[in-house]
Chains A and B, each alone.
Chain A
Amino acid sequence: MLNFVDSVQEAVSGIQDGSTVMIGGFGNAGQPFELIDALLDCGATDLTVVNNNAGQGDQGLALLIKEGRVRKMICSFPRQSDSWHFDARYKAGQIELELVPQGNLAERIRAAGAGIGGFFTPTGYGTMLAEGKETRIIDGRGQVFETPIHADVALIKALKADGKGNLVYRKTARNFGPIMAAAAKHTIVQVSEIVPVGALDPENVVTPGIYVNSVVRVPADAGSSEKVA
């Protein structure tokens, strides 16, 4: 069921305590800042968040972590020069970390959206990130079994949606958007522009509307996406 909603507050209002929330973006590119701000305001807590990083500076995901709303992070690269809110929570033992190699993170998200129960991959074989996991030798290479990552909700950012929820993205801001849209039960998208049905060339649609549940327009020049950490 596809809904076009009037505000980011309305878009995130159904997110429950204890939810697993995928948040798109790699660094600031593609990070849905306005949806994250609305999630912060709506008060949902005890969240498991899936993102490549664990927040930068004093905005977006970093603020959710600062406010103690994230119980667990599933990510590949939490430690950055400006990840001070995660660092503090982690060192205080107040946040759980599941560290996942970036390609495994992406493929586990993709697997969830594609209904795949898991896969074997050489990535991580023989390392501490494979400890306790099932392994096999396949085609002469050691491989590790990895399971899908599902989510209750995905918050992503795209450039445009049409009236059917079809999405196009912009440059490297695409990153996790398409796979998170497919992996979550409920996908909420903020876009710069909503265009009529038929205005997007079907050959150029990146995320078909079947994966999209809520769309909210956030003009590109509005709000916190312009903040600098």
Chain B
Amino acid sequence: MGVMESSIKTSEAPLSRDDLARLVARDIAPGSFVNLGIGQPTLVSNYLTEDQDITLHTENGMLGMGPEAKGDEIDEDLINAGKIPVTELPGASYFHHADSFAMMRGGHLDICVLGAFQVSVTGDLANWHTGAPGAIPAVGGAMDLATGAKDVFVMMTLLTREGASKIVESCTYPLTGVGCVTRVYTDKAVFLTGRGGITVRETFGCTLEELQELVPVPLKAAGE
């Protein structure tokens, strides 16, 4: 294990939510078309730079979404998928819902960033429904995003409040998509998923061995 540890980057401490958002933003290739999911993924927009020239998509029918609207900018006809008032950037475009999802489902978006309850070693995603008795299910665009974007990044804490790993052998929550996740950004490590199983790109505030103690599936360093 010692050899593997030395082959990946580590940092002194686990990442905060903002540090994680900054890291995801840095990893988005210049010129990309990106959809940021509701919740933690929305933070990523705070760290995208002008030089990156990223175009944000919102599935209710817009490319070129700007920051959240404040004060006089608020317009009830201009909202994002979380129904928050937003602004439009120069070069923005509007389209109807079927076009918006065709854009997503047709593989035209480069990256979507989503939250998750669980991700399996083969990249299965569970993020829409706990399956608890009596829970009212609501799926929105989660399944379309998971299957449509070229790359699906997940942002989440590695552990639940109870300390269970959200990286799992196979998801116990109802699935959103099968084999769709390509990367998982957590406070303790970045994981890559794919045909070759799950690998660790870097760790934060722990060694690969310490990470392995938290995660119930065999881990190896990326590139090994």
Contacts of B174 in A (CB 8 A): 127-128
Q: Which of A91-112 contact B (CB under 8 A)?
A: 91, 97, 99-107, 109-110
Q: Decide yes or no whether B114 CB sits under 8 A from chain A.
A: no
With a cutoff of 8 Å between Cβ atoms, the chain A residues found around residue B79 in the complex are: 26-29, 172
Contacts A26-B79, A29-B78, A29-B79 known; A176 to B138 CB distance under 8 Å? no
- Which residue of A109, A123, A128 has the most chain B CB atoms within 10 A of its CB atom? A123
Does A48 have its Cβ within 8 Å of any Cβ on chain B? no
Q: Which residue of A lies closest to B81 (CB)?
A: A26
- Whether A126 sits at the interface, judged by CB under 8 Å, is yes
CB-nearest residue of chain A relative to B104?
A103
Determine if A187 is an interface residue (Cβ-Cβ < 8 Å). no
Q: Count A interface residues, CB 8 Å.
A: 49
Q: Does A124 contact B (CB under 8 A)?
A: yes
Query: Count the B residues whose beta carbon is within 8 Å of the partner chain — how many?
Result: 42
Segment touching A, from B91-99, B160-168, B211-219 = B91-99
Q: Is A165 an interface residue (CB 8 A)?
A: no
Distance between A98 CB and nearest chain B CB, rounded to angstroms: 11
Q: Which of A9-17, A34-42, A75-83, A194-202 participates in binding chain B? A: A75-83
Residue in A closest to B125 when the chains form the complex, CB atoms:
A127
**Contact between A76 and B138 (Cβ–Cβ < 8 Å)?**
yes
Q: Within the assembled complex, what's the spacing in Å between the Cα atoms of A126 and B180?
A: 11
Residue of B94, B140, B148 touching A171 (CB-CB under 8 A) = B94
Q: Which residues of B contact A30 (CB under 8 A)?
A: 77
| Closest chain B CB from A29 CB (angstroms) | 5
CA distance A30 to B77 in the complex (A): 7
Q: Mark A58-98, 1 if CB is under 8 A from B, else 0.
A: 00000000000000000011111000001100110000010
Give every chain B residue within 8 A of A206 (Cβ-Cβ).
96
Task: Give the residue name and chain of the B residue nearest to A169 (CB).
Answer: B94
With both beta carbons as reference points, the residue of chain A lying nearest to B141 in the complex is identified as A102
- Asked if A123 contacts B144 (CB within 8 A), the reply is yes
Which residues A197-214 have CB closer than 8 A to chain B? Answer: 206
Residues B178 and A172 in contact, CB atoms below 8 Å apart: no
**Could you list 15 examples of A-B contacts with CB < 8 Å?**
A26-B60, A26-B61, A28-B76, A76-B139, A80-B138, A87-B136, A97-B137, A103-B141, A106-B98, A124-B143, A126-B175, A171-B62, A174-B61, A174-B95, A176-B97
